[in-house]
Structure 1
């Protein structure tokens, strides 16, 4: 699986591009703030055509560029519990944060909702751009936070264990940490349930591609992530 990751210009949100190979359709995951130019370079270099945009949740740093990426023909996929955020993610964003973004990019922050939005649920199975994904609902960071799993692994990945699947974990699980629960839509108890019931059962052979920071594996996180080691029963 061809996989390219690069950070957005704000908040270091990871944007991912996945495809069966060069010259084919692709899936874009979490197009954040200011990714348009870098994304276009990736698409041009590998001769890729976006078939869908997958959103792990609806916070502005993960959806900012979804509408220019989608255009008129490409659908954005988001869990139904976070669907309302796509109507105007700026509405739930602190004014000081909006002001910071406007200063950084030198223009007023505006939002246009994607023209095509598909609501997904827990265990929804998607076949997009020749790739198959399963959705796992994992609320806690937001009401509609999800993980996207696929039985494929990026080309050229090296790890301490043999990997046989990939999980795009958004802001649920990071290398050595987990997502915040003190933002709008956050719920500490829900996050604990998601970690215990959705994340911990993942196989050690799972590659984890998080919404921020470096990639990791479930084997490494199970052994080293303090937030997984001290979960309440």
Structure 2
């Protein structure tokens, strides 16, 4: 399995394309710049089998409809954010001046609970990691040693909790109970900035160290 980080949209949110040698792929958090994203997928001859959303904030969903339409790919989001795709007040695009309001159609599939999931040619572990938003999830690929964590855990930081549905205590519990239980060498492919590892964040992240790590 291979994966590519591609910053997209007004906040340069990290979209990830996970793909295999046979061309099968999934797109995680297509935040915008639909033309650029679609062009890369077509040049690489990627067959998009699904669009996976770590959560439904506007900067993670801006190109959802364009990718879904172009590749006939089903969209997956946690059930706690089922209404967010179509509601700019919930997804945040209606809360900031100067930001284009983002609206997409309903998801095709809803995630609920935790455990292994098979999507096309891919298998991963879904973890519920709320706190940044109520439906935040992380997609862990144990064979490849990478977790796509959205805006839960960053290099040297953690997700903001001042948007609707955010709660700092819940976020920290998600990080400690779910993400920090992964092997130290696990790559954390997050929503903004550079990738990191679980071990690196245990050692250097002040938010985590402040809680006894």
TM more than 0.5:
yes
Larger radius of gyration: 1
Distance in 1, Cα, partners of 2:196 & 2:49: 27
Cα–Cα, structure 1 residues 177 and 91, in superposed 2: closer, same or farther, change >3 Å?
same
In structure 2, distance between residues paired with 1:74 and 1:94 = 24
TM-score (norm 2): 0.91
Distance 1:231 1:26, change over 3 A: same
Superposition misfits of 4+ residues, deviation over 2 angstroms = 91-97, 109-112
Runs of 5+ consecutive residues of structure 2 not aligned to the other structure = none
Deviation, 1:95, is: 4.3
Structure showing greater relative contact order (alpha-carbon pairs closer than 8 Å, 6 or more residues apart): 1
Provide the secondary structure at the position in 1 that maps to 2:99: helix
Report what 1:191 is aligned to: 171
Whether contact under 8 Å (1:200, 1:228) holds in the other structure is: no
Q: Are 2:38 and 1:40 aligned? A: yes
CA distance in 1, matches of 2:32, 2:20: 26
State which of 87, 104, 118 in structure 2 corresponds to 1:112. Answer: 104
Alignment of 1:68-147 (within 5 A): 68-71=66-69, 73-88=72-87, 90-92=88-90, 93=92, 95=94, 97=96, 99-102=97-100, 109=101, 111-114=103-106, 116-147=107-138
Q: With structure 1 as the length reference, what TM-score do the two structures score?
A: 0.84
Deviations 1:116-165, CA, capped at 9 Å, x for gaps: 52111232422224221111001100001010001243xxxxxxxxxxx1
Per-residue CA distance 1:9-40 (angstroms, 9 max, x = gap):
3111001101112x512100000022x12212
Worse-superposed segment, 48-57 or 184-193: 184-193
